[in-house]
Amino acid sequence: MKRATLGDLQESLADKAGFKQLDDYITFCSAYLTLVELERPTRIVSPSPSNEHYVFYQYGKADRNKITRPLNTRLFFESGEELSAASDRFIDFLGDLKKHKQAAASGHSRKRYLESNEINRVVYTLQQSVGCVGDSFEIENQSRKRVGQLFESLVKLIIKEIGIACEPRVISILIPGYPGREMSYELDLVFSRNKAIIASETRHIHSAEVVGSVKTTSKDRIDKVFLDKFLLTKLLGRDIPVIAIFLHDVQRAKRGESIFGINSTFKTNHFLGYTVALSKLDGVYYVDPRPDMRTNERLREQIRDFQSFLVRDLWTLARE
């Protein structure tokens, strides 16, 4: 896909048969970064105070001057060469995780690797290249659902790459007190270290399995994740581990005369309210956490970055 046009990338994004393995995401992302380096779309820095590290690309007239979503330059690789080297290290580390599990994080060289935050950077860049191409479509709704589906798929492929069984699932739950009545529940991901017990046709959830909700943003979705935890636990009669994985919680906003401001879409009070009124989730992870998720003590107790999930928490959650 070298020197692909934006039209070529749009076709690849829309192809339902594409993106079946991690290499497909890396190839697509590399092609997008090559296009950016060669065609040089207008690069716009956000004027929002404390958010100057977010940028936008604006495509040319031939592409209707479409504007991408905000990109965090502390995470996003703008160089194809940098991405290539980083993705090689990422794949190598996933191989180590598959072989050594959480012990792969020990050792001086691996500690330095984890301190570099490169896992989050690679995942962020792979997904945001998909999002940026999606933003170039003439009608935004043409690609919005597909971009979200591809983030779910990306997370699934990463988890499977380290030897953890992981698939989406639709389950049917009998409603207590209403004989013959059942409700269908669609789950983004169900994962387990015991490959023998996980299967897409499984009616319920095994005690060693964990339910994962995977979304690009928590905006208008965080309540459903808490509700899933509450309802699944209530209707199945036991605690069901439920985690949430989000890409980020930022969006473009108007600031004075500029349309390139940054707004957070994370609803802190809603999150804390659901935690009290319903029950805590078993883990909440962001590839690009908002600053207050690190500084607010209540949020910091419950929210970590995606790298922490992959390297540490996943192995505790997915019992054998």
Tokens linked to 153: 């798929």
Cα-based angle 288, 294, 296 (whole degrees, multiple of 5): 130
- Gap between the terminal Cα atoms of the chain: 40
The yes-or-no verdict on residue 320 having pLDDT over 80 is no
Q: What's the average model confidence in pLDDT over 126-151? A: 93
Q: What digits encode the pLDDT tens for the residues 270-295? A: 999 999 999 899 999 999 999 999 99
The yes-or-no verdict on residue 82 having pLDDT over 90 is yes
pTM of the model as a whole: 0.94
How far apart CA 295 and CA 277 sit, in angstroms, is 23
pLDDT band at residue 200 using 50, 70 and 90 as cut-offs:
very low
Tokens linked to 246: 């989000």
Which is nearest to 318 in space by CA: 243, 238, 210?
Answer: 210
The yes-or-no verdict on residue 140 having pLDDT over 80 is no
Q: What's the average model confidence in pLDDT over 151-169? A: 95
Q: What's the average model confidence in pLDDT over 301-313? A: 96
Among 1-15, 150-164, 168-182, the range of highest mean pLDDT: 150-164
CB-based burial, 220-248: b 16+ in 10 Å, e otherwise? eebeebbebbbbbbebeeeebbbbbbbbb
φ/ψ of residue 290, rounded to 5: -75, 150
pLDDT band at residue 198 using 50, 70 and 90 as cut-offs:
low
The sign of the dihedral angle between the CA atoms of 94, 98, 102, 105 is negative
